[in-house]
Amino acid sequence: MLILVIMAVSASAETLSLWYGDIKKGEISARNNPLKGKDVAIEEIITALGLARTGNLQGIVVIIDGKKMEFWNNSSVVRVNGAIVSLPYPIAIEDGHWWADSKAIITVLDQFYSSIGKTPGMVWTETGQEPSKTKEIKKETHKEVAPEQTKPAGEVKAEPPMPMKEEKKERVSPVPFKVTSGSKMPIVVLDAGHGGHDPGAVANGIREKDINLKAVLQLGKMLEEYGIDVRYTRKTDVYLKLGERTAFANNNKANVFVSIHCNAMPKGKNAAGLEFYIMAPPSDKDAMQLAIYENKEISGGAETAQDVQRADQKTRLLLKILGDMQQNDKINESTTLTEVLHRSANLSGLPMRKVRQAPFYVLRGAGMPSVLIEMGYLTDRAEAYKLNTAKYREDLCGSFAKGIATYINEHPVTVQ
C-alpha cells in the first residue's frame, strides 16, 4: 500500500497535462527548474501532438509543409522557420529526456502552429486538472509592449537615482584559443552606437552615445586579455554613418563584429533588461520597430518627418533584400554567436529579456558573425543608474567578453 501511495504521489508531481484549447493532448514528464517553474520533456510533447521528428540524432527537428521547428542540445534558443525564440537557459539532455522550460515551450509551440496555419492555444495544467477557464482558440499571440524609443531634444534632468547595492562578481579568466598555427590573433571589431551630433536615446540625464563608448572601451580591454586583436569603429565622440561601421569591420577582416547600444521606452511605458539582436527578418513587430528606430542613423541622425520616412523605407527595402533567410550564410553563424552570449549572460546572473532578430542596417553586409547588443533601458531609472556605473558595465562586459572568447574558441578560423 505504501509503495502505491509513493508511486501515485511521484507520478502526480512529475507530469504536467498539455492542453490545446479544451482538448487534452497528453501527460508530459516534468521536473522542477531553477526558476521555480517546470521543465518538460520535448520529445514527449512532439509525440503527444502527433508530430514526427526527422532522423537527426543531434536535435529534435519537426518539418511540416516546409515549416521547421528545431530544438538543439545545450542551445539557449529554439528556431521556428528561421526565427529564434529565446529560452531562459539552455536545453539539457538528462535522464533520457530533452528538457526545456515549460513556459517558453508554449511560446514555441504557438508560434509553430501559427506558421503552419493552425490557431495557437497551448496551455499547461497540473495532472488531473483542467484549464481554469477554457477559452475559444483565437488567432492571436502574446505581444510585449513595443520597445519604441524616444529621443528628447536635450538631456532630461532628473532627481539623482537611489544608489543600488551591487553584487560582487569575479572576473572571468581567459580561455585558450584554437587558432590555426602561424595565423594572426583573431580580430574583433567593436562598435559604439551613435556618437557626435547623434546622442542616441536620452533619459534620466544620460546620453546613450556616452554609455555605449564607455562600455566598448571596457569590453575591448577585457577581450585583449583573451589574446584578441580588438579594433574600434570609434574611440571618441565622433559621428559615423551606419555603412561606415560595417565597412570598417569588413576592411579589417574581423572574425566577430559587435555593435553596442542602449534601449529606451516612450513615456508611460516600462521595460528593463539585456537584449541580443542578429541581422535577419524580424522575429516580431517589436523587433522591427526597434530596427526602424536604430536605422534612423541612415539619415544622418536627423529628425524631420521626411528623414524618418526615408529610414523606414530603407529598413523595409533591406527586409525585402534579405528575402529567404538561407540567402544570408552568416545568419546561422550570428545566431550561434548570440546563443553563446545569451548563455554567458544567464550564467553571470544578468537581467535578461530575450534574443531577437531584426533588419539592422549597421549589421548589413557584415562578412562575419555579428550581433547588436542593447545593454539595457535608459528610461528605466534604476537600470539607467546602473548603466552609468563602471562596476555594472564591468559585469556586462565581462559576460560579453567571455561569450565572444568562448565562441571564437569553439569556432576556430584561419585569420587572414
258, 189 Cβ separation under 8 angstroms: yes
pLDDT at residue 323, as a whole number? 37
Instruction: Of 117, 106, 97, give the one whose Cα is nearest residue 19.
Output: 106
Span 143-147, average pLDDT = 36
| Grid cell in block for residue 381 | 531609472
Write out the residue limits of the CATH 3.30.457.10 domain(s) in the chain.
2-126
pLDDT at residue 195, as a whole number? 93
More confident residue, 155 or 405: 405
Any idea what the Cα angle at residue 342 is, between residues 265 and 279, rounded to 5°?
A: 65
| Cα dihedral: 250, 255, 257, 258 (round 10) | -160
Exposure string (b/e) for 220-237, b if CB count within 10 Å is 16 or more?
Answer: bebbeebebbbbbbbeee
pLDDT at residue 67, as a whole number? 87
361, 295 Cβ separation under 8 angstroms: yes
Q: What's the 3-state SS for 247-309?
A: HHHHHCCCCEEEEEEEECCCCCCCCCCEEEEEECCCCCHHHHHHHHHHHHHHHCCCCCHHHHH
Span 209-224, average pLDDT = 96
> Which CATH class, in words, describes the domain spanning 2-126?
alpha beta
Q: What is the pLDDT of residues 240-251, one digit of tens each?
A: 887 788 889 989
pLDDT band at 410 (very low <50, low <70, confident <90, very high): confident
pLDDT at residue 298, as a whole number? 46
Span 253-270, average pLDDT = 88
Pick the CATH number of 187-410 from 3.40.50.970, 3.40.50.300, 3.60.10.10, 3.40.630.40: 3.40.630.40
Q: What is the pLDDT of residues 16-51, one digit of tens each?
A: 999 998 899 999 999 998 778 899 999 999 999 999
Span 357-382, average pLDDT = 80
**How many percent of the chain have pLDDT more than 90?**
35
Written as one string, the DSSP assignment of 370-392 is EEEEEEEETTSHHHHHHHTSHHH
